[in-house]
Structure 1
Amino acid sequence: MSARRLFQSLGWPVATGLLIALIALMAFPELRPPSGSEPQPRPPVQTQQITSYADAVDRAAPAVVSIYTQKMREEQRHPLADHPYFRRFFRNSDRPQQERMQSALGSGVIVDERGYLLTNEHVIEDAEEILIVLYDGREVRGELVGTDPESDLAVLKIEMDDLTAIEVPEPTQARIGDVVLAIGNPFGMGQTVTQGILSATGRYNLNLSEYENFLQTDAAVNVGNSGGALIDIHGQLLGINTAILGEGNTNVGISFAIPADSAMDALRQIIEHGRVVRGWLGLAVRPFTRGVQSSNGTKNNGVLVTEVMPNSPAERAGLRPGDILTHIDDENVGNGRRGMDKIAATAPGSKVTLSIRRNGEPMTLTTTIAERPVPAS
């Protein structure tokens, strides 16, 4: 058979087979062989859209309580009340007595099923009576275990069955931008939940307390929210709501909370020691200014020692006013706040190494941390 007749006899079957294969590849793309030059499609990003925080509230709300206190307040007597002539006019008057009970309110968080609560020290300050109202409406008297005015924290104890303690993560993994919820008793209205985001961490120099390391949020916090819970979307405790920024106790979208890990550490120490035990070095420092930098010929990598207390660990180490403190145990002191927090967190009796510069020369000193003296009330 000639080549021409062979081609004519096979032409139609081959063309038909190629057409069928083309149709199959178009109908079933997965049959196509992979191509090295053809980009592979990316798998879809798995996202979870949260439309409600009800589950988080259900977990945390039973641990948040309302606190009502009674405080004794002295009334000023009229300057003429004891005058021989005018005394009779005041004897039968309707003026209140010289001492009267003043009501105050706040919030608290049950952090231990044994009945321990955290709240702010300013909520229960000078309280004659403390009434705790639980989430389910039960009422019980609160007993003051101890306070830490330097961080504005207080620990209360209640005797009650079937208590729900809030979950506290260790350590707290809060990030700026996380959604947060504030739970408390604003204006005595009853338990209320507000929502916002975590705006900042490590806020200090606000003159709210001696030791400041606040979480900042834009969740609405008002009078009565103090001592309440700042939680994450899982219902875990992030912080204890403490203060707002604004005049006349008006919320302007900036409020502050004490981080949960700091609050829980204070609670453990108050239960164990009746107070918070902090380390103490016994010196005063201040950050650099442009003038200090130029006169000492140094860069902004330390703090200037301005005062050394007599008989303090700093004096025993040989520190002098004018020294530049740069590191404590190889950790940079930053602008001074970081070093202050490190010393406060160091157990009394621990040895520390201080890196300084004196007249431009680096030096290393050692000393033993003492217990911070109790501040005069």
Structure 2
Amino acid sequence: MLGVLLGGIAVLVGIQTAPPAAPVPVDSPAAPVPVPALPPVAPPAVCDCPEVRGGGGPSLVDAVERTRDAVVTLSGTDALGAGVLVDETGLVLTNYHVVAGQIRDPRQRVLGGVTDASAVAQPIRARFVDGRELPAELLVADRDRDIALLRLRPADSAERFAFATRGRSHELRVGETVFAVGNPLGLEHSVAQGIVAAIGRTGLLRSRQTPLLQIDAAINLGNSGGPIFNLRGQLVGITTATLERAQGIAFAIPIDHIAALLEALRAGHGTRSGQVGAEVAPYGELDDDARALGYQNGLRVSRVLPGRPADAAGLRKDDLIVEAQGQRFDSFGTGPEAQLRLANHFVATVRGLLPGEVLNLTVVRGKDRLSFNIPVAPAPPDQQVLIDADALLGLRLDESRREPIVKELRPDAPISRSRGRELLRNARVSEIAGIKVDSRDDLGPLLSELRQIGRFAAVQVGFVLSDGRALRVRDFPVSPD
């Protein structure tokens, strides 16, 4: 079968002559992280907003007044930024990079359940708008998605705090008014108004598929970690980045994505890729029905796995996917290479979604155009091994084999440009960083550790070649996913 497993195998290009083997059990899945749950989304509220009312007025002033006590300035030896309280017990959301200077071991991608000072070099202080300061404890820090969760430590543990109500970032519309609160250049609790300039921007964080909101508010050094509110005073995002040499271009992590990340960590799925249980063919002609609807590119569904989210949502074999997350595929162009780029992009989009998030698809079925909202599930452990080998090492393993046998190299991976790369075809991975590997069961935990350490690095990888010879690559490149 020629296809791409959404969120599973990155690109399965080849003829499948036998059904895949039964899933390989993994005895040591990722442990849940003791992450406090965020409060539920705020109930719908009537908004006296210009967009609704059709006029000007004090709605921004009112929203700022309602939220000012929930915003704090964060400081430490190397920390300067902002945070926002998200529950009455003192949970504070901010960016990883705001507190990174306080973390003793920055190589770790995810820190979770920190209950003492062992992981933090210096204490973090949180200062309210009235000048009061409290120490803050680091609970969770995810480097790749640039999220950190703190808890305030008041003298009276029973103290309760004003906090921001949580909105629904997926309901934001381009052009909607929002405002940011932060400490630009040290000017604490400054407010900047803007609009949502775009939704679903990717390629900006270490986790390149993390979808971001683009806003045009004035964001500067010191705004990092601060909240983005809508005019209802609801938290819809956390400021994360700006573009150098640009004005009026800033980015925020949607609150829906943050909530999904924390829930995934709670469930032990924080290092799992997203999947929906379908395959798409990277090659194929667009039919006349799709062209009649104005589309120039698409991906044909080649298989829907029974019982998986795509099946439950009603996606069918031979459906033509023409949009994902509200974006058409026409810009990828036509031809085999363009189709392969599109397939890789689509798979990366699905893999980058967190369990509990939603994949929005538009498909053409015959003469009809249909919309699907498919909840994303975590990849099973046996598939996660295949995903990580592809994403981190550029090795596409044979999914029908229990042993980690290299079927092919990912064309854009650094190892594909190395001399002697042809020797790796049909080779068995025998060791990672000096640790023996006999099966995919052994390989999975090692790849998970490698993902924690980070990308753009190198690691020693050993192989047994198809002719029985041993090969050890001392500086095997770790590639970005």
Question: TM-score scaled to structure 2, two decimals?
Answer: 0.46
Counterpart-to-counterpart distance in 1, 2:237 and 2:207: 16
Q: Which residue matches 2:469?
A: none
Q: SS at the partner of 2:193?
A: strand
Q: Which residue number corresponds to residue 235 of structure 1?
A: 233
Aligned to 1:347: 378
Partner of 2:68: 61
Distance 2:353 2:167 in 1: 22
Q: 2-side partners of 1:268 and 1:174: how far apart?
A: 22
Q: Deviations over 1:129-185 (max 9, x none)?
A: 211112222111111101112211011111232411101024642111101101111
Aligned to 1:82: none
Q: Who is 1:278 aligned against?
A: 272
* Percentage of identical aligned residues: 33
The residue aligned with 2:448 is: 373
- Please state how far the C-alpha of 1:274 moved relative to its aligned partner: 8.3
User: In the aligned structure 2, how far is the partner of 1:203 from the partner of 1:181?
Assistant: 19
- Between the aligned partners of 1:274 and 1:280, the Cα distance in structure 2 is 13
Amino acid at match of 2:73: S
Give yes or no for contact 2:91–2:150 (8 Å, CA) kept in 1.
yes
Q: Secondary structure at the match of 1:339?
A: helix
Q: Secondary structure at the residue paired with 2:92?
A: strand
Change in Cα spacing, 1:268 to 1:376, as seen in structure 2 (3 Å) is: closer
Higher relative contact order (CA 8 A, sep 6+): 2
Contact 2:79 / 2:101 at 8 angstroms: preserved in 1? no
Aligned partner (choices 286, 299, 303) of residue 302 of structure 1 = 299
Q: Is 1:196 the counterpart of 2:187 in the alignment?
A: no
Question: Does residue 180 in structure 1 map to residue 184 in structure 2?
Answer: no
**Matched residue of 1:126: which SS?**
helix
1:159 aligned residue: 153
Structure 2: gaps spanning 5 or more residues? 1-51, 103-120, 287-296, 325-344, 356-375, 384-398, 401-443, 454-481
Q: 1:217 to 1:206 in 2, by over 3 A?
A: same
Correspondence for 1:264: 259
**Pairing of 1:1-377 with structure 2 (within 5 A):** 47-52=53-58, 53-70=60-77, 103-127=78-102, 128-129=121-122, 130-160=124-154, 161-170=159-168, 172-247=170-245, 252-270=247-265, 272=266, 276-279=270-273, 296=283, 298=285, 300-302=297-299, 329=311, 330=315, 332=321, 334=324, 335-336=345-346, 337-342=348-353, 345-349=376-380, 373-374=448-449, 375-377=451-453
**2:192 match: secondary structure:** strand
Contact 1:148–1:275 (CA under 8 A) maintained in structure 2: no
Measure the CA separation in 2 of the matches of 1:341 and 1:200.
19
Q: Deviations over 1:174-199 (max 9, x none)?
A: 11110110111111111100011110
State how far apart, in whole Å, the 2-side matches of 1:343 and 1:192 are: 32
- Report how many residues are paired: 249
* CA separation of 1:339 and 1:269: change in aligned 2, threshold 3 A: closer
2:146–2:205 contact (8 Å) kept in structure 1: no
Q: Give the direction of change, closer, same or farther, for the CA distance of 1:208–1:279 in structure 2 (3 Å limit).
A: closer
In structure 1, what is the Cα distance between the partners aligned to 2:236 and 2:150? Answer: 19
* Structure 1: segments with no counterpart, 5+ residues: 1-45, 71-102, 289-295, 304-316, 318-326, 353-364
Cα distance in 2, alignment partners of residues 280 and 172 from structure 1:
18
Q: Is the 8 A contact 2:73 2:188 kept in 1?
A: yes
- Looking at structure 1, the residues matched to 205 and 170 of structure 2 have their Cα atoms a distance apart, in angstroms, of 24
Question: What CA distance in whole angstroms lies between the structure 1 residues aligned with 2:82 and 2:215?
Answer: 18
Contact 2:93 2:148 in 1 (8 A): yes
Residue 191 of structure 2 aligns with an amino acid whose one-letter code is V
Which residue number corresponds to residue 87 of structure 1?
none
Cα distance change on mapping 1:339 and 1:107 into 2, 3 Å: same
Is the Cα–Cα contact under 8 Å of residues 199 and 216 in structure 1 kept in the other structure? yes
TM-score normalised by the chain length of structure 1: 0.58
Paired residue secondary structure (1:264): helix
Contact 2:193 2:218 in 1 (8 A): yes
Paired residue for 2:389?
A: none
Q: 1:55 to 1:350 in 2, by over 3 A?
A: farther
CA-to-partner distance for each residue in 1:20-47, whole Å, 9 max, x for gaps?
xxxxxxxxxxxxxxxxxxxxxxxxxx94
Cα distance in 2 between the residues matched to 1:146 and 1:343? 17
1:146–1:275 Cα contact (<8 Å) kept: no
The structure with the largest alpha-carbon Rg is 1
Q: Is the 8 A contact 2:200 2:211 kept in 1?
A: yes
CA offset at residue 278 of structure 1?
A: 2.7
Residue identity matched to 1:245: L
Pairwise CA distance, 1:297? 5.1
Residue 293 of structure 1: aligned partner: none
Spell out, residue by residue over 1:193-227, the C-alpha distance to the aligned partner (whole angstroms, 9 max, x if none).
00111101000123553342000000011111010
Contact 1:155/1:267 (CA < 8 Å) preserved in 2? no
Partner of 1:142, secondary structure, is: strand
Change (3 A) 1:167 1:154: same
Partner of residue 313, structure 1: none
Which residue in the other structure is 1:84 paired with? none
Aligned pair in 2 of structure 1 residues 268, 343: CA closer, same or farther (>3 Å)?
Answer: closer
SS at match of 1:225: coil
Give the Cα separation in 1 of the matches to 2:285 and 2:351.
Answer: 21
* Aligned equivalents of 1:350, 1:274: Cα separation in 2: 11
